[in-house]
Amino acid sequence: MNRIPRRTRSKGSPIYEARTRDIVVRVMCSYRPEDSEPDIGLHMWSYVVEIENHGTETVQLISRHWIITDSRNNVDEVKGEGVVGDQPTLKPREAYRYTSGCPLRTSSGSMAGSFQMLTDDGQTFDAEIPPFSLDLPDARKVMN
């Protein structure tokens, strides 16, 4: 299993990337001030996930597992079938892209997880969703 987390930048927004076997998962996120209500502890984030099949076998995304951590180290886990109501099948050299959102009680946090993938011959494996940070656009960056 080959996992290569990578972070690059595109138009000012970070792109987080991981590769498991021949599946590449990229995530880009952004804060949604128009949907947030900081006074009551609601901070909304939007994220775009791209999944690319760089392999030679067809795979299907069966389920997802997200680990969402806010800045107070409160952890929420989300598990379920597919993504946004879909269980996409990716032939070699195909890609799938979707957009979703995440509410946080704090103004910053992080997300990570995995997609369970099923091959044509019935094998399953977990494709890593790279860890990515949820930080307000003008927040001061602090390294721990």
pTM score, whole prediction = 0.86
What is the reported pLDDT for 2?
36
Residue 144 lies in a domain: no
Structural domain count of the chain: 1
Across 1-144, where does the E strand assignment appear? 6-10, 13-20, 23-31, 43-53, 59-70, 75-81, 89-90, 95-104, 109-119, 124-134
User: Domain span at residue 34?
Assistant: 6-133
CATH number at residue 66: 2.60.40.1470
Q: Is residue 143 part of a domain?
A: no
Q: Report if residue 38 sits inside a domain.
A: yes
| Structural domain contains residue 142 | no
Give 50's pLDDT tier (boundaries 50, 70, 90). very high
Residue entry with tokens 């987390």: 5
